[in-house]
Each structure stands twice: as structure tokens, then as C-alpha cells.
């Protein structure tokens, strides 16, 4: 005869509790370390979502790799070589234009006379003789069956009778075409091309039937589902990271003009940065700010200091935050955004710290805050001189923490900066905005591939734990970089997809599950760190959830007993997220790739504990998040 249902539930509960107690008792006999999660906080601060910041700049093809534009060098300026490399055979994303059709009958030249934009336009002329078809092509375009792409270009012509044809095609097939009849004057032409098939290696061809001459400039091909110009898949991956803040501008801002990135994209002149390459400028300031709004992240703008005056920085603040009745606000409104963006965080200069910078920042602060007193102003590299001269205006100073696997070194620096701020800007609540961090900034060449590895994700996770413990001072942190950047990006793209690196998944776990308050841990009754595992315990703002972030960097499983008595009663179901190598190769350098894009990923599970305790085994080479609900 079966038991009544309540008794069956009671019996099951007794079995679960008995198993949990038996595991606990067994661990006690075998000296398994015990963690006691206390109600004491590690520091007086709160963990800001801005610790989960991301970073976008003009660096080594970063913006072209995540912008929706499919045409490379649409203004025919030519792409200078990059000054650094990762893997030269695969670094370059660009696809060159090449002559096509009856090329022996054509004259192809980059014409400096009256280009629509930039220094040159592409000129194509037919040599004397009977009519023929010739043009230019660019390969490796991604087309999807039924998906629309907006094609635009500027044309002028002389002596032509036939229209110019734009075609997307593959082997033996034409997917979509459009025709335009150019005149002697530059004019913009546009068509929506909807491909009949899918192809990751399609070709874009612009051709004419002679005789005559045609000039071509500012060619563009973009999916119509773009997010303010950005690739939708990339924008969605960024949004899923839940970045509290996104920084725009790094080393490149000390040598380029932000005004070159606003206004009509067709009128923006391409520019080269200190890293080499060519930036078309169509991924500009407005596009960045609109992306932040779409993602739901706070923008952080880095303004140029070198060779500029305070009024220049004030103009940029007015363009972004001023009313549409102000001179720069009117320009913003004319560019399609009447409402101010209300950007709060502004960094003055990047990686600067010499005497002229220390003495010049105060004037920049005054000019910028005169335009918008509500903004938070950030200095670059912290120094006593900077704090003495500008500390009364600064809200943040911005060290960069590359080599973040030197955890003790970084913790010591935080201590030194705490003392430096107190001594040189007494009474000011100046925090740290670590606006760039990673395990390395350089290591150019093949050594840079370590940034793709599981080991890198675990080091970055340990650094996140460090920031939790120092959240009273570290409020903002932007990992460098978000995408590509010759390997440093946590997202790597192709023309039709993307791969998320292990560090992407680690940062997503922190942004999604970290509480507001860092909690003290006692190990075997002592206020000490675990000798093998790096742990951060956090409590949610409503005190209803404890989340543990546990990094096991060793090649061995690590068993621990966790005492939650300070928060009992607990929900018996403990939610678990584990980032590890599904291939279980026990290789620190295991990585995701186009061959195995999700080899290292997050897997979810549940663990069952008793009323106030849990025994858990942490896999080797893993980041584990344990989330415990507190019954109220």
C-alpha cells in the first residue's frame, strides 16, 4: 500500500537532508575546508554595475569588424598597413577593390580631381572601340536569402549612354541587381537589394557598358536590420553582456578630430590613427551614443587633451549634452538627435600624466562643467601633481591595469592610490575609474592568442573578485577591448557571424549575478583567503540572494563545505552556473574557435543543500557561480 502524498514528500525530504548531512559529516572527517559566509561586509562601498564596463575605440579594425558596413574602403582612399600584428596571415579584414569585366579594354585610375569625398574617387573609362562591359568588384560579401541590404554610392559620368549596374552575385548566379543613370554632377544613388539566396562569399560588382567614363565614390552596402549602423548580432551580444558603462576612445583620441565622425556619413573623410589602418568614420560619436542607449549602458567619452584647448572639450560636451538652442546643440539636432544625450562621464585625455597635463586639466574641468555642471569628470593617470592641481574638480582618476594577473601588485596599487588621494585631495570623494584593464596591452604577435584562452578568463575573473573587494574605491572598470582588436576582443567576428571567447562568458556571469555588497568569508574559522580557490561572496541589494563567484585555477577538483547559517533559512535549491572546458582536456590554453565556437561555455545546474549548509565540488579550471535564495 502506497504512502499518502504528504508522507511521501516528508520521506523524500528526510532522504535529501540525510544525504546532505552525511556528506557534511564525511567532509568533516576528511578535513575539507569550511567556508562561513558572514554578514560582515568587506568594505563600506557597494559593487557598481560600472565595474562590468566595456571599451570601444578606433584600434586595429575594431570598429569596422562590428559595424554593419560590408564595403571596405568605400571612398577608395586605400588602407595603410597596421603598425602592429597578431597573425599577419589573417589580421586584415579588408577586401580590396579589383578591376572586373573586359579589363583589357578599360582604364582604371584613382582620380584626385574633384572627388566627392576624401582625396580621390575611382575613375573607369573604356578605351576606343566597340561597346564592352567593365567595372570594379569586391568579394567576400555576406548575403542572406530574403534579407535586404541598402546599397548606396555617389556617381558622375561623361559620355555614357548606358546606366551603371550594381550586382550581387555568386558562382553562376546573380542574387540581386539595381541600375542607375548618372549625370555629369555628383549625385547619390540608392537601392535596396534583396538576395535570392544565401552566400558568405558573394561579390559586389559596379559596372558600366561603354563608351564613356564614370566616377565612383562613397560606396556602401549595409543590412537594413542594423542597429544605428552597428551589426545586429554584435549589438545583441553586447546587450547580453549587460555592461553598466561603455567607454569610447583610447590612445587614438589624442590624434584625431571627433568632429570628423559626426554629420552625414557620406561626408566624413576617412582617417588613419596611431595604430595604422583606415577608419571610415561612419562608426562615429552619434552612432556610439545611440548604441549605448539601445544597449542600456551609460556612455563614457574620452576627450582629446593633446593639442587642444579647454573650449574644444567644452564644445564636445555641448554637442552631446547641450540644449538644441545652443550652437553645438543645434548641430546635433541637425544631425538627427534633437534631445541631449545627457552623458554623465567624461575622461580628459588618455594615458597622459606629464607636467603639462597635470597643470592643464583644471582648466578643461572648469570649461566642461561650465557647460554642464552635472557631469562627472575623470583625470587620466593619477599623480600627486594632478590631484593637487585639479583634485577639487575631479570625480575620478583613471589608472590602467594591464597585467591584471599580478593581483597583489594591483591590490598594492589600489592601496597606494587611496593614500595618494587622501594626501593630495583631502576631503574630496575621488574614486578610481580603471578605464582600461586586461591581462596584457601588448604582447603583439602570436603570443597575443593567450587572450582567447580559458586561462585568461580565469585571471580576468580573479581580477573581478579583487574589484569586488575594493568597491569602495573602484567604481568603474572597462575591459579592453570589446571586439577583435587583433585578438584582444572578447567577441571575434567574421563577415557573417561571431565567436564569444571564454572571457565574454565570464564577464557576462559577473554582470548578471553579482550582488551589491561584498561579504567577508571565514575559512576554517579564520579571516583568511582560501589557499587554492579565489572567492567573492556578494549579497543582493534586497538581501534576498547570496552569490558566490569561485575561481578554481588548479588542475584538481576542489571540494568545499559552505556554511550559510548567517542567512538561514535558505531555499534548498542552489542555482549553479559553471564556465569550463566541455572537452575536459585540462588545458589552460583551451579556447573557443570557429571550429569549436562553444567548447568553453557556461552550463547551468542545481545543487541541493540542507537548511544552512552545502557541500560542493568545484571542477578544475573553472569559474563557478553559486546563487542561494534566502527565504524571508
In a domain, 78, yes or no: no
Q: SS3 sequence, 499-517?
A: EECHHHHHHHHHHHHCCCE
CATH value at residue 531: 2.60.40.1180
pLDDT band at 17 (very low <50, low <70, confident <90, very high): very low
pLDDT at 293 over 70: yes
Does residue 289 sit in the same domain as residue 253?
A: yes
Does residue 571 sit in the same domain as residue 487?
A: no
Q: Which three cell numbers stand for residue 203?
A: 561579390
Does residue 92 sit in the same domain as residue 185?
A: yes
Please write the tens of the pLDDT for every residue from 104-120.
999 999 999 999 999 99
pLDDT band at 466 (very low <50, low <70, confident <90, very high): very high
Beta strands 54-56 and 173-180, pairing class: unpaired
Last residue of a domain, one of 513, 543, 558: 513
pLDDT band at 406 (very low <50, low <70, confident <90, very high): very high
Looking at the 3D structure of the chain, how many domains does it have? 3
pLDDT at 65 over 60: yes
In a domain, 439, yes or no: yes
Segments of 501-608 assigned E as strands: 517-523, 534-539, 545-552, 558-563, 573-581, 600-608
- Of the candidates 478, 470, 402, 486, the residue with the CA atom closest to the CA atom of residue 438: 402
pLDDT of residue 21: 46
Please write the tens of the pLDDT for every residue from 272-282.
999 999 888 89
pLDDT of residue 11: 40
pLDDT of residue 91: 86
pLDDT of residue 10: 37
pLDDT of residue 4: 47
pLDDT of residue 335: 97
In a domain, 419, yes or no: yes
In a domain, 80, yes or no: no
Last residue of a domain, one of 479, 513, 547: 513
- Of the candidates 269, 225, 262, the residue with the CA atom closest to the CA atom of residue 74: 269
Cis previous bond, 167, omega within 30:
no
pLDDT at 7 over 60: no
pLDDT band at 27 (very low <50, low <70, confident <90, very high): low
Q: 420: helix, coil or strand?
A: helix
Mean pLDDT of 428-436: 97
Mean pLDDT of 284-303: 98
> 135-144, 289-298, 313-322, 608-617: which range is least confident on average?
608-617
The CA distance from 360 to 367, in Å, is 11
In a domain, 392, yes or no: yes
In a domain, 598, yes or no: yes
Does residue 235 sit in the same domain as residue 180?
A: no
In a domain, 597, yes or no: yes
Mean pLDDT of 248-263: 93
pLDDT at 9 over 60: no
The CA distance from 157 to 182, in Å, is 6
Q: Is 599 exposed, middle or buried (0-12, 13-18, 19+ CB in 10 A)?
A: middle
Does residue 397 sit in the same domain as residue 476?
A: yes
Last residue of a domain, one of 223, 252, 281: 223
Does residue 546 sit in the same domain as residue 593?
A: yes
pLDDT of residue 6: 42
| % of the chain beyond a pLDDT of 70 | 95
Please write the tens of the pLDDT for every residue from 216-226.
999 999 999 99
Does residue 480 sit in the same domain as residue 415?
A: yes
Tracing cell 552631446 back to the chain, one arrives at: 320
pLDDT of residue 612: 86
> 46-50, 418-422, 481-485: which range is least confident on average?
481-485
Does residue 256 sit in the same domain as residue 271?
A: yes
Please write the tens of the pLDDT for every residue from 333-356.
999 999 999 999 999 999 999 999
In a domain, 77, yes or no: no
pLDDT at 23 over 60: no
Q: Which three cell numbers stand for residue 557?
A: 577538483
Does residue 267 sit in the same domain as residue 383?
A: yes
Does residue 123 sit in the same domain as residue 62?
A: no
pLDDT of residue 180: 98
CATH value at residue 138: 2.60.120.260
| % of the chain beyond a pLDDT of 90 | 88
Does residue 523 sit in the same domain as residue 498?
A: no
Q: At what angle do helices 327-334 and 310-321 cross, to 10 degrees?
A: 50
Segments forming the whole domain that contains residue 607: 5-44+517-629
Q: Which three cell numbers stand for residue 310?
A: 579647454
Beta strands 298-303 and 345-348, pairing class: parallel
Q: 179: helix, coil or strand?
A: strand
Q: Which three cell numbers stand for residue 597?
A: 565556437
CA dihedral sign of residues 320, 325, 330, 334: positive
Name, of 340-344, 568-572, 573-577, the range with top average pLDDT.
Answer: 340-344
Mean pLDDT of 15-24: 42
pLDDT of residue 441: 83
- Of the candidates 477, 483, 536, the residue with the CA atom closest to the CA atom of residue 243: 477
pLDDT of residue 30: 63
Does residue 134 sit in the same domain as residue 279?
A: no
Mean pLDDT of 573-580: 96
Amino acid at each position: 500500500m502506497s504512502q499518502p502524498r504528504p508522507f511521501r514528500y516528508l520521506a523524500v525530504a528526510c532522504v535529501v537532508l540525510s544525504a546532505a548531512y552525511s556528506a557534511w559529516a564525511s567532509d568533516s572527517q576528511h578535513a575539507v575546508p569550511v567556508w562561513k559566509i558572514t554578514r560582515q561586509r568587506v568594505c563600506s562601498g557597494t559593487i557598481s554595475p560600472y565595474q562590468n564596463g566595456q571599451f570601444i575605440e578606433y584600434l586595429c579594425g575594431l570598429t569596422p569588424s562590428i559595424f554593419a558596413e560590408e564595403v571596405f574602403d568605400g571612398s577608395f582612399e586605400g588602407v595603410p598597413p597596421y603598425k602592429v600584428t597578431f597573425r599577419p596571415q589573417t589580421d586584415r579584414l579588408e577586401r580590396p577593390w579589383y578591376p572586373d569585366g573586359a579589363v583589357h579594354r578599360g582604364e582604371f585610375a584613382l582620380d584626385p580631381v574633384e572627388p566627392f569625398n576624401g582625396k580621390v574617387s575611382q575613375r573607369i573609362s573604356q578605351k576606343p572601340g566597340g561597346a564592352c562591359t567593365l567595372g570594379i568588384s569586391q568579394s567576400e560579401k555576406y548575403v542572406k536569402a530574403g534579407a535586404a541590404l541598402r546599397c548606396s554610392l555617389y556617381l558622375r559620368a561623361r559620355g555614357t549612354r548606358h546606366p551603371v549596374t550594381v550586382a550581387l552575385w555568386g558562382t553562376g548566379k546573380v542574387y540581386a541587381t539595381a541600375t542607375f543613370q548618372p549625370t555629369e554632377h555628383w549625385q547619390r544613388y540608392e537601392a535596396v537589394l534583396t538576395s535570392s539566396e544565401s552566400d558568405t562569399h558573394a561579390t559586389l560588382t559596379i559596372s558600366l557598358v561603354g563608351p564613356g567614363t564614370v566616377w565612383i565614390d562613397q560606396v556602401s552596402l549595409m543590412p537594413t536590420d542594423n542597429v544605428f549602423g552597428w551589426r545586429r548580432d554584435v549589438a545583441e551580444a553586447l546587450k547580453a553582456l549587460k555592461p553598466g558603462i561603455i567607454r569610447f576612445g583610447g590612445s587614438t583620441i589624442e590624434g584625431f578630430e571627433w568632429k570628423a565622425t559626426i554629420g552625414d556619413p557620406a561626408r566624413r573623410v576617412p582617417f588613419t590613427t596611431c595604430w595604422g589602418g583606415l577608419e571610415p568614420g561612419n562608426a562615429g560619436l552619434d552612432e556610439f551614443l545611440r548604441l549605448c542607449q539601445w544597449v542600456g549602458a551609460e556612455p563614457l567619452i574620452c576627450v582629446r587633451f593633446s593639442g587642444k584647448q579647454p573650449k574644444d572639450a567644452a564644445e564636445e560636451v555641448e554637442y552631446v549634452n547641450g540644449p538644441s538652442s545652443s550652437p553645438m546643440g543645434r548641430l546635433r539636432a541637425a544631425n538627427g538627435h534633437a534631445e541631449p544625450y545627457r552623458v554623465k562621464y567624461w575622461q580628459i585625455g588618455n594615458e597622459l600624466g606629464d607636467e603639462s597635463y597635470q597643470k592643464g586639466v583644471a582648466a578643461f574641468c572648469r570649461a566642461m562643467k561650465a557647460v554642464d555642471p552635472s557631469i562627472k569628470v575623470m583625470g587620466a593617470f593619477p599623480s600627486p601633481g594632478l590631484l593637487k592641481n585639479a583634485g577639487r574638480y575631479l570625480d575620478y582618476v583613471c589608472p590602467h591595469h594591464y597585467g591584471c594577473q599580478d593581483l597583489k601588485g594591483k591590490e598594492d596599487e589600489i592601496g597606494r592610490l587611496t593614500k595618494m588621494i587622501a594626501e593630495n585631495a583631502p576631503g574630496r570623494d575621488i574614486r578610481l575609474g580603471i578605464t582600461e584593464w586586461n591581462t596584457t596591452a601588448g604582447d603583439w604577435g602570436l603570443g597575443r592568442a593567450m587572450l582567447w584562452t580559458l586561462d585568461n578568463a580565469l585571471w580576468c575573473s580573479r581580477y573581478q573578485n579583487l574589484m569586488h573587494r575594493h568597491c569602495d574605491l573602484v567604481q568603474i572598470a572597462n575591459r579592453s577591448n570589446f571586439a577583435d582588436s587583433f585578438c584582444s576582443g572578447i567577441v571575434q567576428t567574421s563577415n557573417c557571424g561571431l565567436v564569444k571567447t571564454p572571457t565574454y562568458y565570464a564577464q557576462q556571469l559577473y554582470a548578471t549575478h553579482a550582488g551589491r555588497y561584498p561579504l567577508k568569508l571565514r575559512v576554517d574559522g579564520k579571516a583568511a583567503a582560501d589557499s587554492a580557490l579565489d572567492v567573492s561572496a556578494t549579497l543582493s541589494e534586497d538581501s534576498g540572494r547570496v552569490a558566490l563567484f569561485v575561481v578554481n585555477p588548479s588542475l584538481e577538483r576542489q571540494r568545499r563545505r559552505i556554511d550559510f547559517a548567517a542567512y538561514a533559512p535558505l531555499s534548498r535549491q542552489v542555482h549553479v552556473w559553471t564556465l569550463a572546458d566541455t572537452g575536459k582536456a585540462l588545458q589552460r590554453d583551451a579556447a573557443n574557435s570557429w571550429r569549436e565556437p562553444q567548447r568553453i561555455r557556461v552550463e547551468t545546474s542545481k545543487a541541493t543543500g540542507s537548511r544552512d549548509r552545502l557541500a560542493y565540488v568545484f571542477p578544475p579550471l573553472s569559474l563557478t557561480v553559486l546563487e542561494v535564495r534566502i527565504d524571508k
